[in-house]
Structure formats: structure tokens, C-alpha cells
């Protein structure tokens, strides 16, 4: 019996042959933290260890509340900058770079075959580039800084075979929402999700990032796309690092294989208050809302902004709503400036925020009042996430959110083709 990607990567790290279910002690290639580094530093200090074990493995990106919205957040950022200097951490990205997952990937840390840990649940994103990447908590991040080791259970793998081509105005966000809706928020708990099949190869790296990011919303430990020519050429100029492409054997043991035909997928919407409460747009169109968000680590890349700009070109957003645009990173922001998408979106009435998490986690910039409703391209719609406990969030693709922004109620983007 062959091995899955996850078995191979964790086995190589543990220097033995491993099977799903085994527990291994391994040392990661990189460990990502963000604004939560301030709390992780406190945990690290409790260990009374003077220096982190491998400073060059640590990647810190300030993104969650940037620029600081209060004295408290400002103090956190200051503590982190001081720690970075004190420990000589070379990979530090201050508030102007963008959202950690995009910054981490576009700076070439997310590489095929690498083992990456991150103190953020959407660390699953880097599977888009063929890495094994999983989220961990704060104590663990502090302990990895100190010891360079962690225990992990080798996950079983669910393989998702994708065939066919998307209809117009349907994208990666719709298929991942459909999968989560069909399978449930805990379907892949403790498991790996491998996105495969001919249609996976057709997806851009940005689209693969959307799906691997949202694998977290099925409970997955990690998401994965086998690296191909597209992956390698995307990495050119973004990394000097060496890497090995690791792929599952053709006779690998999968816990389950699911099949999806992209040609049959309609635009999908995740309704309040769980990501697996998914319906086709035809069932929820007409639902009024107050705030729309196009961006975040899930859908804030240039291909997302292009679709939104295409739909809004020469038009105005509905006067009853406000629309926030959040590019995923400074690089994506610059490209959208140069190509003109931002001009189109601002002319339509959108408000462009600096690259960062913004209102996605309800900390600042666009908090919802009681009774308010948002439609967002982000990845999570839990009760209270974007502000009041009595607000509600719908999740959809950039095309659906842009079309909805024009109409002031949830709308089917296919008519804007």
C-alpha cells in the first residue's frame, strides 16, 4: 500500500515510515505567528529560556489589528517589535505588508514538502503550494519557539476529486462552500484534505489558496494540492529556498474519496451562523444586508478584485449599503492600483481599507451593530464574529458579494457575466 502526502512529509520529518493514526515528534521548517505573538512572548518568558531555539524558522506578520486601533494593541505591537530585535528574528513583517497567510506565501515560505505550523487556524492555506501546514495554539507556538519540536498525529486523508469547468461567475469559493455545506463543519476533523483531479490542475494558485484556506472550516488539519508546473512557476522569483515536491502515491490509502463536477456548481452562500449552513444563491437572493466585504486572506487577491471590478465597472453600489474592500497584501494592493481595479471600485462607492484582517475578526474597522447583516468573502460567519452578538454574516464569492453590493440585497452574479 502506498503512502499519502501527509504520511510522507511527517514520516520524512520523523525519519521513519509512518501510517495515519501514529503520533510523531517533529521539528517544523517554519512557524508563523501574528499579533498573537505578544501573548506567545508572555508564554515563552514563563519558560525562563533566554533565546528562541531557531530564530530563522520564526515568521511574524503583524496583520490582525493594523495599524493599532488602541493603546493596548499599540503596546502589543511594540512588545513584538522589541522581541524581534532582541532575538534577532530575521523574518518580521510589520503592519504595512498585509495579511499573514498571503504575506507568508508570497514571500516564498510556503514551499512544497515543507512542514509549517502557524498559531492561526487558516495556516491550512499553504497546502495550496504543496506544503504540510497546520494550525496550533499559543502555548504550543511558545513551546516550538523554545524547543523546536512538537507532537503531531499523522492524519488520515480525504481525497476530493474535481472534474469539469466552472460556469461563468462561479469560482473556487463556491465549490469549497458547496463541499463544506454537503459534508459538514467537522467532516475533516483531525484529517487531511487533498484536492485533486483534472479540475484541480486548472485552478490558479490564488484559487487553490481559497480552497486550502477554507479546508479549516471542515475541521481539517491540513489541505493539499499536488504541486505542478503552475506551482513551480508561481514560486519563481518569490523564493530562493530549496524544496522537494512530495505527492501521494497512486495506491495511497484514502479514508474517503469524494467527487465534484464543477460544471454543475451554482454560486453558493453560507448563511448565519455556521459555515456549513450553505444554500445556492437562488434560495437566498433578495436578502437585505448593510455591509459588504470584499477581501481578507480568503478572497483578497488580484483575481478576486478583478471579478469585483468587472461587475461594478461604471456602476454605483446601492445607496443603502456600505462596501469595504480589503486587499490581502500590499503586493496585491499595488497590482490592483496599477491595473485600475481600485479606481473602479472606489468610483462605484467602495471604501478601500489597508491590507490586514480589518473587521474579519470583529476587532476594528467596520464592526457590525446589533441587528446588522453583512455579506463577506471571508471564511467564517460565526455569531458575533464581526461585532454584535445580534448581527449576522453571510459568506460568498467575490462575484456574489459584488453583485449583491450593487443591488443592496443578496444577488446572483451570473446576470453580470
Partner 1 sequence: MSKGKVWKYGDDVNTDVIFPGKYTYSVLDPAEMAKHALEDLDPEFAHKVKPGDIVVAGKNFGCGSSREQAATCLKFAGVQAVIAKSFARIFFRNAINQGLPVVQCSEAVDNVESGEKISIDFAAGQIKGEKGIFTFAPLPEFILRILDSGGLIPYIKKKKIEREKNLGDKNA
19 belongs to the binding site for partner 1 (CB under 8 A): no
In 34-173, DSSP assigns E strands to 58-61, 91-93, 115-118, 132-135, 150-153, 157-163
User: Which H/E stretch holds residue 324?
Assistant: strand 322-326
Contacts of 17 (CB under 8 A, 6+ apart): 3, 11
Terminal C-alpha separation, the chain? 47
Q: Return the one option of ligand SF4, partner 1, none that residue 378 interacts with (CB less than 5 to 8 A, by type).
A: ligand SF4
Given 12, 94, 108, 140, the residue binding partner 1 (CB under 8 A): 140
Stretch that binds ligand SF4, among 98-106, 190-198, 335-343, 346-354 (CB under 6 A): 98-106
**From candidates 18, 141, 220, 360, binder to ligand SF4 by CB under 6 A:** 360
Binding of ligand SF4 by 307 (CB under 6 A): no
Residue tagged 469549497 (cell numbers): 176
> Taking CB under 8 A as the criterion, which residues in 148-177 touch partner 1?
151
Q: How far apart are CA 85 and CA 94, in angstroms?
A: 12
Minimum CB distance to ligand SF4 smaller for 20 or for 353: 353
Number of neighbouring beta carbons within 10 Å of residue 236: 8
Decide: is 274 part of the binding site for partner 1 (CB under 8 A): yes
* Contact map string, positions 373 to 392, toward partner 1, x by CB under 8 A: -------x-xxxx-x-x---
Is the Cα torsion angle 376, 308, 96, 379 positive or negative in sign? positive
Which residue, 249 or 382, has its beta carbon nearer to partner 1? 382
Rounded to a whole number of angstroms, the minimum distance from the CB of residue 304 to ligand SF4 is 13
- Helical ranges in 3-99 per DSSP H: 5-14, 37-46, 71-87
Annotate each residue in 192-221 with x if it binds partner 1 (CB under 8 A) or - if it does not, as one string: ---------------------------x-x
Query: Judged by CB under 8 A, does residue 38 bind partner 1?
Result: yes
Nearer to ligand SF4, 11 or 118 (CB): 118
106: burial class by Cβ within 10 Å (0-12, 13-18, 19+)? buried
Asked if 357 interacts with ligand SF4 (CB under 6 A), we say yes
Site residues for ligand SF4, window 99-158 (CB under 6 A)?
99-101, 120, 122
What is the C-alpha separation between 350 and 241, in angstroms, rounded?
A: 39
Q: Which is nearer to ligand SF4, 7 or 63 (CB)?
A: 63
Among 159, 57, 63, residue whose Cα is nearest residue 116: 57
120 part of the interface to partner 1, by CB under 8 A: yes
- Residue 287 contact, options ligand SF4, partner 1, none, Cβ 5-8 Å cut-off depending on partner type: none
SS3 223: strand
| 317, 349 contact by CB (below 8 A) | yes
Q: Which is nearer to partner 1, 64 or 318 (CB)?
A: 64
Q: How many residues bind ligand SF4 (CB under 6 A)?
A: 12
DSSP single-letter state for residue 379 = S
Question: Among the candidate windows 181-189, 233-241, 326-334, 409-417, which touches partner 1 by CB under 8 A?
Answer: 181-189
Contact 18, 4 (CB under 8 A): no
Distance of closest approach, residue 298 Cβ to ligand SF4, in angstroms: 6
- Residue 156 contacts which entry, partner 1, ligand SF4, none (Cβ below 5-8 A, type-dependent): none
CB distance 385 to 272 below 8 Å: no
Residue given cell 512538537 in the structure block: 150
Question: Quick check: 379 binds ligand SF4 (CB under 6 A)?
Answer: yes
- Choose, by CB under 8 A, the member of 55, 185, 226, 258 that binds partner 1: 185
Query: How many residues appear in the chain?
Result: 417
Please give the full DSSP string across 187-204, using - where no structure is assigned. TTTT-EEEEESHHHHHS-
> What gap in Å lies between CA 223 and CA 110, rounded to an integer?
13
- Do 295 and 324 meet the contact criterion of CB atoms below 8 Å apart? yes
Binding residues for partner 1, rule: CB under 8 A, are: 23, 35-36, 38-39, 42-43, 46-49, 64-65, 70, 72-73, 76, 118-121, 123, 135-140, 142-143, 146-147, 151, 185-186, 189-190, 219, 221, 274, 361-363, 367, 380, 382-385, 387, 389
Amino acid at each position: 500500500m502506498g503512502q499519502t502526502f501527509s504520511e510522507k512529509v511527517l514520516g520524512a520529518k520523523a525519519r521513519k515510515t509512518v501510517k495515519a493514526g501514529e503520533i510523531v515528534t517533529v521539528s517544523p521548517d517554519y512557524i508563523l505567528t501574528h499579533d498573537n505573538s505578544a501573548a506567545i512572548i508572555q508564554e515563552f518568558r514563563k519558560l525562563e529560556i533566554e533565546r528562541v531555539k531557531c530564530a530563522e524558522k520564526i515568521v511574524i506578520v503583524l496583520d490582525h489589528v493594523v495599524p493599532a486601533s488602541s493603546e493596548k494593541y499599540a503596546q502589543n505591537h511594540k512588545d513584538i517589535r522589541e522581541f524581534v530585535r532582541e532575538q534577532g528574528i530575521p523574518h518580521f513583517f510589520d503592519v504595512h505588508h498585509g495579511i499573514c497567510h498571503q504575506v507568508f506565501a508570497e514571500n516564498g515560505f510556503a514551499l512544497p514538502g515543507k512542514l509549517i505550523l502557524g498559531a492561526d487556524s487558516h495556516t491550512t492555506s499553504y497546502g495550496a503550494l504543496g506544503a504540510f501546514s497546520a494550525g496550533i495554539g499559543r502555548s504550543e507556538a511558545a513551546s516550538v519557539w523554545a524547543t523546536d519540536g512538537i507532537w503531531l498525529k499523522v492524519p488520515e486523508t480525504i481525497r476530493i476529486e474535481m472534474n469539469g469547468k466552472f460556469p461563468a461567475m462561479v469560482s473556487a469559493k463556491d465549490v469549497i462552500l458547496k463541499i463544506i455545506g454537503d459534508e459538514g463543519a467537522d467532516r475533516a476533523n483531525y484529517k487531511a484534505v487533498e484536492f485533486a483531479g483534472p479540475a484541480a490542475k486548472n485552478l490558479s494558485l490564488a484559487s487553490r489558496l481559497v480552497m486550502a484556506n477554507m479546508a479549516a472550516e471542515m475541521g481539517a488539519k491540513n489541505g493539499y494540492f499536488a504541486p505542478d508546473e503552475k506551482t513551480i512557476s508561481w514560486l519563481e522569483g518569490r523564493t530562493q529556498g530549496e524544496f522537494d515536491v512530495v505527492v501521494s502515491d497512486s495506491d495511497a490509502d484514502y479514508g474517503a474519496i469524494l467527487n465534484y463536477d464543477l460544471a454543475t456548481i451554482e454560486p453558493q452562500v453560507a448563511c448565519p451562523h455556521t459555515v456549513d449552513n450553505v444554500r445556492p444563491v437562488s434560495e437566498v437572493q433578495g436578502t437585505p444586508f448593510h455591509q459588504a466585504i470584499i477581501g481578507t486572506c480568503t478572497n483578497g487577491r488580484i483575481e478576486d478584485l478583478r471579478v469585483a471590478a468587472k461587475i461594478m465597472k461604471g456602476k454605483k453600489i446601492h445607496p443603502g449599503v456600505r462596501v469595504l474592500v480589503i486587499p490581502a497584501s500590499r503586493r496585491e494592493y499595488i497590482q490592483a492600483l496599477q491595473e485600475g481595479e481600485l479606481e473602479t471600485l472606489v468610483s462605484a462607492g467602495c471604501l478601500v481599507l489597508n491590507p490586514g484582517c480589518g473587521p474579519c475578526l470583529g476587532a476594528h474597522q467596520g464592526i457590525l451593530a446589533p441587528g446588522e447583516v453583512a455579506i463577506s468573502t471571508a471564511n467564517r460567519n460565526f455569531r458575533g464574529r464581526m461585532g454584535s452578538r445580534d448581527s449576522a454574516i453571510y459568506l460568498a464569492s467575490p462575484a456574489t458579494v459584488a453583485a449583491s453590493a450593487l443591488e443592496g440585497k443578496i444577488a446572483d452574479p451570473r446576470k453580470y457575466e
